Amino acid sequence: MDDLAAGGAVERRLCLAHALGSIRIAGVDRLTRIANGAGRTGAKRLVAVATPLVLANALTRGQGVGHCPSTCEPTGVERTNIVAVTPPNVYRALMASEPRPGGARNALGGFRRFLQESRGSGPDGPDGPEGGSTASKIVGAAGIVALGFLGSRLLGLLRSVAIADAFGTDPELGAYWVAFRLPDLVFQLLAGATLSAAFIPVFARVSMHQGPDRAWLLASRVLNLVSVATVVVAVIAFIFAPLLVPLLAPGLGETSGREAELGDLAIELTRLMLLSPIFFGVSGMLMGILNARQHFIAPALAPMVYNLSIILGAVFLAGPYGVHGLAWGVVIGSAGHLVIQLPALRSVGMRWSPSIDLGSEAVREVLKLMGPRVIGLGASQINFLVLVFFASFVSDEAISGVNYAFLMMMLPVGVVGMAVATAAFPTFSEQAAAGRLDALRNTVWRSLRAVLFLAVPASAGLIVLAEPTVRLLLERGAFDSGSTELVADALMIFGIGVFGHAGIEILSRGFYALEDTRTPVRVAVMAMLLNVLLAFALVGPFELRGLAAAASITAILEFLVLVSLLRGRIGGFDRRGIADFALRLGLATAVMVQVMLVMRLLLGALDVDLETVGGAVLIVGAVGLTGLLTFVAAAVTLLGDEYRQARSVLPF
C-alpha cells in the first residue's frame, strides 16, 4: 500500500491488480483511476478504496473486521501516518477463506456505499477535496470500534447476568464492588483514557514531522514509564489498603451488622485485584499506540476477553470460591486484555526500546498533557466513588444495585458515544496537528450530531423499558424481584443522562486533539463538585434514585458547558441549525415514546403479567421493536440527512 500511495502509475496498477486478482468486483478500472489520482487527494482516496476491500471480505467471512496498518506517504504534510494496507496482506486477507452464503451481498452493499463516499470526496464533492475521505475513514473506523464496543457491552451484560445469578445483591458482592474501585482507580489514572488522550496527539505530530523512528521511540519511553509507575503505585496501594478501602464505603456492613467481616473481605479482594492494574498499565498503553496507528480491531477485542474471563469466574469459580472467584476472573481477564494486543503491535511496525528518558521533550509533553487529564479523569472516578460511598449508607444491597444500574446505562453510552469518539479521535488529532481547523470543525460537529441522533432515543427507550429490561436480563438465581425493583429505579433515572455522557465523549476529545486538556478538566472538576453536593442533598429523601439523578443532572450540564466552550475554540456551531436539529430529533423521539407507552398499555389490557420474566420478554421485544421502527420511520421523515449518516456509522 506504500507503493500504491506514493509510487507511479505502473506500480499502482500492478499492486492493485495483485490485491484484486483473485476476486471479481466490477469497476476495477475505476479503482485504478482513483489510485492514479495525483497528490494528497489521490493517496487518501486510495486508502478509502483499499480499506473496505479487507473490511468487506472479513465481514463476508463472518469473522469480524480487521486491517493491517502501515505507514503511508504524504497526505498534505511532509510525512503523515494514515490507515493503509500492504498488498500482500490484502491478498492474504482476501484469500483466507471462502465467503459465507448471503454474506457477500451485505458486505458489498456497504462496500458500494463506501466507494460512493470516496467518489464524492473530490473537488466537486460536497465536503471539498478532503471532507468525504475523512468522513469515510471515520465511518469505517467507527464501524470497527462500534462492533467491538457492542461485543464488549453485550459480554458486559452477560457478565452482569452471571454475577446476578450467582450473588444477586448479597452483601458479599457489595464488598467486591467496593474492592474493585481502588485497582480500577489506579489503572484509570495512570494508563486509561488519560494516557491515550495525552499520547495520541503527540505521537501523531512526532510521526508527522520527525518520522516513524522518533515516534516509536516516544511510544517505548512512555510505555516503559507507565509500566514502572503502575507497579509502584499498585505496591503502595497494596500496603495501605487497610487504610484506604474503609474510606471508599464507610457504611459497608452497617445494615447487616457485618462491618468487620465485610471490611476485611473488601481489603483482601482489593489486594488480590491490584494485580490487574499492572497488566492494564501495559495493555492500556498498547491500546493508545494501536489507536494512534488507527488499528482498532485488537483494542476492540481486548475488553471482550476481559469480560469473558469475569463471566467464567462467575460461572465456574463463584461456587467453590465465592467472590474470590470473581476477583480471580478480573486478574486473569486483565492479563488476557494485554496478551491479545501483542500480535497487533507487530502489524503496525512497533519497535520497542528499553528507554526511559524524562528529559525527552516529547515525553515531557505527554506528561504535561496527561497531568490535567489525570485530574479530569480523577474527577470522573470520584463521581463513581460518590455513588458507592453514599449507597453504602442506604444498604449493603444498594452498593450492588447502583453498580448494576450504572453498567446497564453504560451499554448505549459505549456503543454510541465511546465507539464514535474512539474512532474519530485519531482523525481529530491528525487534523489539529496539520493545522486544518476547518476540517477539524466539520468532523467534530458531524460526529456530535451522529452521536446525539442515536443517544437521545436510546435515553428515552431506556427510561421506558428500565424495569422489564432489568427483569429480563438479571432476575434469576439469587437476583429476586426486590433486586429488580432496586436496580430499575436507579436505571430509569440514569437513562435521562445517556445523551449527556455520550456527547461528552466527543466534545472532550475535540479539546484533547487541540492539546487543550485544561478546559475539559476544569469542567469535569466543577461537575464533580456539583455531583457531590447533589448526591448529598438527594440521597436522603430519594435514596438510589437521588444518586442517579445527581449523576444525570451533572452529566447533562457538563455536556452543555463543553458545547459552549468548544464552540468558542473552533467555531462552526450553527445555533439555528442545531436548534432545528434538536427540535426535529425531539419530535421523532417523542413520537417513539408515545407509541411505546401505548404499546405497553395495550399489553397490560391483554392481561400480560408484567411481573414475570415471560412478560418482560414480551414487553422488551414488542415495545422495543415497535419503538425502534417508529423512530426509524420518524427519522426518515424528519431527519433524513442524520439518518443516512447514522446508518453509515452503524455496523449492522
Q: Which residues of 100-121 are buried (b: 16+ CB within 10 A; e: fewer)?
A: eeeebeebbebbebbbebbbbb
The reported pLDDT for the residue numbered 146 is 61
**pTM passes above 0.75:** no
The reported pLDDT for the residue numbered 123 is 34
Model pLDDT for residues 530-585, shown as the tens digit of each residue? 999 999 999 999 999 999 999 999 999 999 999 999 988 887 666 777 888 889 99
Cα-Cα-Cα-Cα dihedral sign, residues 155, 158, 164, 167: negative
The reported pLDDT for the residue numbered 355 is 79
The reported pLDDT for the residue numbered 74 is 29
The reported pLDDT for the residue numbered 626 is 94
The reported pLDDT for the residue numbered 62 is 33
Q: Are residues 77 and 27 in contact, defined by beta-carbon separation less than 8 angstroms?
A: no
For the chain, what are the domain ranges?
2-121+130-136, 160-574
The reported pLDDT for the residue numbered 257 is 83
The reported pLDDT for the residue numbered 363 is 87
Contacts of 87 (CB under 8 A, 6+ apart): 1, 3, 4, 15, 18, 19
The reported pLDDT for the residue numbered 144 is 62
Cα(309)–Cα(335) distance, integer angstroms = 10
Tell me which DSSP letter residue 77 carries: S
The reported pLDDT for the residue numbered 134 is 54
Model pLDDT for residues 99-138, shown as the tens digit of each residue? 333 333 333 333 334 333 333 333 333 344 444 555 555 5
The reported pLDDT for the residue numbered 59 is 33
> Any idea of the CA torsion for 241, 250, 321, 281, to the nearest 10 degrees?
-40
The reported pLDDT for the residue numbered 197 is 65
The reported pLDDT for the residue numbered 196 is 64
Cβ atoms < 10 Å from Cβ of 572: 13
Q: Which residues of the chain have pLDDT under 70?
A: 1-146, 148-149, 191-197, 373, 572-574, 610, 645-652
Instruction: Return the SS3 of 370.
Output: helix
Cα(137)–Cα(420) distance, integer angstroms = 12
Q: Are residues 567 and 411 in contact, defined by beta-carbon separation less than 8 angstroms?
A: no
Cα(509)–Cα(444) distance, integer angstroms = 9
The reported pLDDT for the residue numbered 70 is 32
The reported pLDDT for the residue numbered 648 is 59
Cα(103)–Cα(564) distance, integer angstroms = 44
Task: Extract the C-alpha cell encoding 75.
Answer: 497526505
